[in-house]
Amino acid sequence: MIGFVAWRLLQAIPLLIGVSLIGFGLMHLAPGGPLAVYTLNPTIQAQDIERIKIIFGLDQPVHVQYVKWATGIFSGNWGYTFFGGRPVLDVILERLPATLLLMGSALSVAIVLGLSIGVLGAVKRYSVFDVLATTGALFALSFPTFWFGLMAIFVFAIELRWLPSGGMWELGEEGNILSLLRHLVLPTMVLALVITATWSRYSRSAFLEVMQQDFMRTARAKGVPPAARLMRHAFPNAAKPLIALLGVELPFLFSGALVTETIFGWPGMGRLFVDALNMKEYPILMGMMMFTAIFVIIGNLLADLAIAAIDPRVRLR
């Protein structure tokens, strides 16, 4: 297994170089750039923009800019932001805990709920519950997240005044776990709603497929109780596609949720990305892209290892 992991990590190096090359190239090929932010400043003039262009190194050819950036990355220097002049890694890492908390809680809630609903829907196929769950999932997937977000704020924060409408803490109560939990409820609820819908659909179809297999019929014929059939026989087999799905979703734990974070003022990676994109903050965008790419690789590697662990037929080579 160690050889397998080492080989996969070695394979990741050219992959990351490729991702960075394509990302950097596309970013610079796209029209516009970071200097547009200055144009709207009333005092700025053409000569100022030219001067700032040189200071940011944007006057140099794209390949020279790339080599400078890549050399920095290899030596552990992720560069500095254009606006603020702060180390990119610091800017990313200071947003990470908030995103991990929100995405982690939403994903946990969604997986538990989605799995339960999916399994129940598969076991009681075409029942009233199954029809309601299917309709509910369709509803949750069809409506935009920002609508759910604004409705949640309107009902629970403005009308009922039960919960805060945004932010991560009550100001001045940073570190108060109860305050954090209260602020976490609405964004988690909104985000989990959509993820639950996805997971319930995936798990329903995965379990349905497994439950129609011969070995399930055999287990039933042997008199294995329903709960044991589900847990010992169906679950390990149905879990494989779900683990693969989890592997793919792992990077979202770090990349954040753009819409939910914006509506609830949650200080996570999603908002950092939106702000950086609006201002064409190339160093932050590149940093976030590499960060996400690394976690895509790790997520898939972990998923492969987990599948091998639960399925003896899978050999890691």
Residues that bind other proteins (CB under 8 A): 31-52, 55-56, 80-81, 83-87, 91, 94-95, 98, 150, 153-154, 157-158, 161-169, 171-172, 174, 178, 181-182, 185, 262-268, 271-272, 274-275, 278-280
Residue placing its CB nearer to other proteins in the complex, 237 or 260: 260
Could you give the angle at the alpha carbon of 245 between the alpha carbons of 298 and 312, nearest 5°?
80
Going by C-alpha positions, the residue among 68, 72, 71, 70 that lies closest to residue 57 is 68
Alpha carbons 309 and 217: distance in angstroms, whole number: 25
Write down the least CB distance from residue 122 to other proteins, Å. Answer: 23
CB 182 within 8 A of CB 163: yes
Nearest to 15 by CA among 245, 267, 297: 297
Closest of 306, 244, 289, 222 to residue 70, by C-alpha: 289
In the bound state with other proteins, the residue whose beta carbon lies nearer, of 5 and 36, is 36
Question: What does each C-alpha distance from 202 to 70, 113, 138, 213 come to in angstroms?
Answer: 39, 12, 13, 17
- In the complex, the smallest distance separating the C-beta of residue 19 from other proteins, rounded to whole angstroms, is 22
Q: Rounded to the nearest whole angstrom, what is the least distance from the CB of residue 153 to other proteins in the complex?
A: 6
Q: Shortest CA distance to 136 belongs to which of 204, 71, 235? A: 204
Query: Letter for the amino acid at 38?
Result: Y
Smallest gap from Cβ 12 to other proteins, in A, equals 29
What is the nearest approach in angstroms of other proteins to the Cβ of residue 39? Answer: 4
Give the span between the Cα atoms of 130 and 140, in whole angstroms. Answer: 15
* CB nearer other proteins, residue 274 or residue 305: 274
* Cβ closest to other proteins, residue 153 vs residue 206: 153
Closest to other proteins by CB, 71 or 77? 77
- Closest to other proteins by CB, 184 or 293: 184
| Residue with Cβ nearer other proteins (52 or 246) | 52
CB of 235 to other proteins, least distance (A): 22
- The radius of gyration of the chain's CA atoms, rounded to the nearest angstrom, is 24
φ, ψ for residue 42 (rounded to 5)?
-60, -30
| 200 token code pair | 């319930």
Phi, psi at residue 87, to the nearest 5°?
Answer: -60, 130
CB of 74 to other proteins, least distance (A): 20
Long-range CB pairs of 275-279 (<8 Å, 24+ gap) are 279/34, 279/37, 279/82, 279/83
Q: Which is nearer to other proteins, 202 or 264 (CB)?
A: 264
Minimum CB distance to other proteins, residue 196 (Å) = 17
